[in-house]
Structure 1
Amino acid sequence: MYDFAVMGEWLEFAVRWLHVITAIAWIGSSFYFIALDLGLHRDRNLASGADGEEWQVHGGGFYHVQKYLVAPAEMPDHLVWFKWESYATWLSGFAMLWLVYYMGAEFYLIDPAVMDLAIWQAIAISLASLAFGWVVYDLLCKSKFGDDNTRLMVLLYIILVVMAWGYTEVFSGRAALLHLGAFTGTIMSANVFFIIMPNQRIVVADLKAGRKPDPKYGKIAKQRSTHNNYLTLPVIFLMLSNHYPLAFASEYNWVIASLVFLMGVTIRHYFNTVHARKGNPTWTWIVTLVLFILVAWLSTAPKFQREEAALSGGALKFAQAEGFSDVHDIVLGRCSMCHAEEPSYEGVLWAPKGVKFETEAQVARMARAIYIQAGVTHAMPPANLSYIEEEERAKIVAWYRAAVGS
């Protein structure tokens, strides 16, 4: 029998792995070049005409790196372009968004107690918001307002705060923070695709044609690269947040997200300053710690207390499937001591990943996860602490497969 749930789980794992790999490559090269550019010695009269240089040691070898403000007098035969890391990160991230939040919209994207949306409506809002973010950001950067980068970044922060609040008014808490990360990541990758790379191609084409490149293209690319530098760390936090209900299931989750962007600025400011040899601003770590403590405090604020919405669609199918009553009793007896509003298991202070199994609706909505975690595999309960029996696991498998008709 071809088990689509198992294959889907492996597909998600493969795409998530790809996303992490490409993100490491993109972030790694980005941080390296930011550090390299800030650390260049520009007080030397270089015979090559380069703007600055730096000697580095790594892996048993020495590297002599020089940067040309626009380009060297003659184009080298081969140029290494750093672009696919960004593109692959966004494409794999979008694939994850589709696999988890679009194909599982009823379970992960939509919360009827927040906004009772049809699946197509939720997906349309998601896609439109990503496009909206890039269009607004790009127009602001190209406007007169964008000539002052500090002023521009303050406005961009305000927009991010508004989007953080807006997402929590439309999607589930988990999906809201994830979407804010996707919103920001889309801007970052679009900067590379639509601005940084085209500007570099213009400079290369001018040099090959014997024309003197216009420095404005480098200046524009530098602005977008700086924005990406400060946005990277918050995006990582937001992408990880869906694993931690303390981040997404608080009444103040949008405030938490807003503060995370400030922590991204303080952390990057420290490293940028050190790399530029302009001091050691340890105060940034004090500010970061204060912000993190505030985030932790906000995370324990009252959780969303909403009335359970009526089941519909896929969840209703699982609730009506043969064997659901038995499975509900099994899950209630073997899992709800941890997966509850107030867990009774010693040492467990909140429901892992925000998943609760106290009502029939909650069990039905998490049917696929229950099937994978406790039916097909023995991942749950951890170390089988609640002594779930093989016969009970078999009932979970039979119930799920009866519901999906396989």
Structure 2
Amino acid sequence: MEAYVLDWVNLLLRWAHVIVAIAWIGSSFYFVFLDNSLTKPEDPDLKAKGVDGELWAVHGGGFYHPQKYMVAPKSLPSNLHWFYWESYSTWLTGFALFTVLYLYQAGTFLIDKNLFAWSPAGAIAAALGFLVAFWLVYDGICRAFGQKPGGDRIVGIGVTIAVVIASWLACQLFAGRAAFLLVGAMMATAMSANVFFWIIPGQRTVMAQMKAGEPVDPVHGQRAKQRSVHNTYFTLPVLIAMLSNHYGFLYGAKHNWVVLVLVMLAGALIRHSFVVRHKALVAGKRVPWEYAVAGTVLVLALAIWLAPAPVPKGTSVAPPSFAQVQGVIVERCAMCHNEQVVSKGVQLHTAELISRNAQAIYQQAVVLKAMPMNNATQITDAERSLLGRWFEAGAPAQ
């Protein structure tokens, strides 16, 4: 019953997390597009009001005219919308999901004793430490170099190095599936911390200065904009790290930390392509699609690198006997899928049950390589291949 309840909690938290994440990432993408698509106003009235950029758009049968003020408007509007609950809700639901699935079940999902045999308490503490440590390192790099000439490039290089080191370390300490998700979670934590510690406080400071009749210091807006841009570059790497836990061929690869770094780099390149595209269109310049092309080529190169070795032409491999298949299932799978332990509602302790679940066995153990969890039973590639040949031969029961 406990497993059933956890499945429902997992489902509802995951659903809520996806909903609020869509809202946050959608607003982030929109405002980056808006900032890079604004044109200088020609209307004298807009200039007099302090409007620095405007955009005309059409959507849903109506016309929209968003405007951006240089630093701040001359007076505060009575109805002002704040964009922060999208971020906080995403982090809170994500952390709750991480707690339920990985921290609460650390011995199953967080630890791979073949990599590092530590206690659940130690693994939990280290995982939480990753979230805090990356924020401190990232924030320190931004504080030290963010406001200096050429600082954006230095920050970009420094943060990239920090992500690479964290990816390598996570894959040495945690089960591959957990390591990938943990790297995504630490970057997502930095994104939400940017909102909490920099973007919203900066906006509140600007408002306080306006209410006090003091000159508005533009540095608060500049810092908020810088952190907001960082967030938009983190989005696609974070998303692929989060989605990776469904694909064992990624986190189960021999050099999985390299796979993680490269797939996140591909996401960052593709995101950069769209950012610079907006600027190019406004300036009437050529759209630099080469970044998106580079990201796509990188993904294709990864797919080729991780592809299983093809069977030589002319080689005929006879389908395995059911006895061989049952032997693999009993040794590698049945300990979690039997009459007493019914993991995910699947039982594999009889020949009939093995045949009934042939599709699931093929999908999870052969195609996705997601099972056994963290390869706890050390199933070999040869055994996965054996199960694959059995299924492709029609999954005969005898």
Normalising by the smaller structure, the TM-score range is 0.7 to 0.9
| Partner secondary structure for residue 57 of structure 1 | strand
Aligned to 2:26: 28
Instruction: Check whether the contact 1:338–1:351 (CA below 8 A) recurs between aligned residues.
Output: no
- 1:167-190 CA distance string (max 9 Å, x none): 010011100100010011000010
Aligned to 2:49: 48
Take 1:283 and 1:241, find their aligned partners in 2: how far apart are those partners?
A: 25
1:122-141 to 2 correspondence within 5 Å?
122-141=123-142
- Alignment equivalent of 2:190, drawn from 164, 187, 192: 187
Take 1:157 and 1:163, find their aligned partners in 2: how far apart are those partners?
A: 10
Aligned partner letter, 2:216: P
| Partner secondary structure for residue 55 of structure 2 | strand
Cα deviation for residue 301 of structure 1 reads 7.2
Aligned to 1:173: 176
Aligned partner letter, 1:60: G
Cα deviation for residue 264 of structure 1 reads 2.4
Distance of aligned partners of 1:360 and 1:74 in 2 relative to their CA distance in 1, 3 Å threshold: closer
Take 2:113 and 2:268, find their aligned partners in 1: how far apart are those partners?
A: 35
Q: Are positions 1:355 and 2:371 aligned together?
A: yes
CA RMSD between the two structures: 3.2
- 1:284-306 CA distance string (max 9 Å, x none): 2321121111221333479xxxx
Aligned to 1:395: none
Q: Are positions 1:93 and 2:94 aligned together?
A: yes
Aligned to 1:19: 17
Cα deviation for residue 226 of structure 1 reads 0.8
Aligned to 2:327: none
Take 1:335 and 1:113, find their aligned partners in 2: how far apart are those partners?
A: 32
Structure 1, unaligned stretches of length 5 or more? 303-314, 364-381, 389-406
TM-score (normalizing by structure 2): 0.79
- Alignment equivalent of 2:299, drawn from 292, 302, 305: 292
Take 1:114 and 1:291, find their aligned partners in 2: how far apart are those partners?
A: 28
Take 1:285 and 1:106, find their aligned partners in 2: how far apart are those partners?
A: 40
Instruction: Check whether the contact 2:181–2:245 (CA below 8 A) recurs between aligned residues.
Output: yes
Take 1:331 and 1:171, find their aligned partners in 2: how far apart are those partners?
A: 36
| Partner secondary structure for residue 66 of structure 2 | strand
Aligned to 1:111: 112
1:150-299 to 2 correspondence within 5 Å?
150-276=153-279, 277=281, 278-299=285-306
Instruction: Check whether the contact 2:50–2:70 (CA below 8 A) recurs between aligned residues.
Output: no
| Partner secondary structure for residue 143 of structure 1 | helix
Q: How many residues align?
A: 348
Cα deviation for residue 59 of structure 1 reads 1.1
Aligned to 1:369: none
Take 1:54 and 1:237, find their aligned partners in 2: how far apart are those partners?
A: 32
Of 7-16 and 38-47, more deviation after overlay is shown by: 38-47
Distance of aligned partners of 1:154 and 1:23 in 2 relative to their CA distance in 1, 3 Å threshold: same
Distance of aligned partners of 1:203 and 1:339 in 2 relative to their CA distance in 1, 3 Å threshold: same
Cα deviation for residue 282 of structure 1 reads 2.0
Instruction: Check whether the contact 1:50–1:66 (CA below 8 A) recurs between aligned residues.
Output: yes
Take 1:169 and 1:386, find their aligned partners in 2: how far apart are those partners?
A: 37
Take 1:290 and 1:70, find their aligned partners in 2: how far apart are those partners?
A: 40
1:376-391 to 2 correspondence within 5 Å?
none
Structure 2, unaligned stretches of length 5 or more? 310-333, 380-390
Aligned partner letter, 1:244: Y
Aligned partner letter, 1:137: Y
Cα deviation for residue 362 of structure 1 reads 7.3
- 1:252-290 CA distance string (max 9 Å, x none): 221121112322232122211221224311222321121
| Partner secondary structure for residue 223 of structure 2 | helix
Instruction: Check whether the contact 1:55–1:65 (CA below 8 A) recurs between aligned residues.
Output: yes
Of 204-213 and 271-280, more deviation after overlay is shown by: 271-280
Of 99-108 and 140-149, more deviation after overlay is shown by: 140-149
Cα deviation for residue 90 of structure 1 reads 0.4
Instruction: Check whether the contact 1:338–1:350 (CA below 8 A) recurs between aligned residues.
Output: no
Take 2:270 and 2:261, find their aligned partners in 1: how far apart are those partners?
A: 15
Cα deviation for residue 4 of structure 1 reads 2.2
Cα deviation for residue 238 of structure 1 reads 0.6
- 1:105-138 CA distance string (max 9 Å, x none): 1221111111111110110000011000111111
Instruction: Check whether the contact 1:177–1:238 (CA below 8 A) recurs between aligned residues.
Output: yes
Aligned to 1:372: none
Aligned partner letter, 2:368: P
| Partner secondary structure for residue 115 of structure 1 | coil
- 1:189-216 CA distance string (max 9 Å, x none): 1000111000000001100111111111
| Partner secondary structure for residue 71 of structure 2 | coil
Take 1:386 and 1:113, find their aligned partners in 2: how far apart are those partners?
A: 32
- 1:40-85 CA distance string (max 9 Å, x none): 0026352322111111111111111110121111111121000000
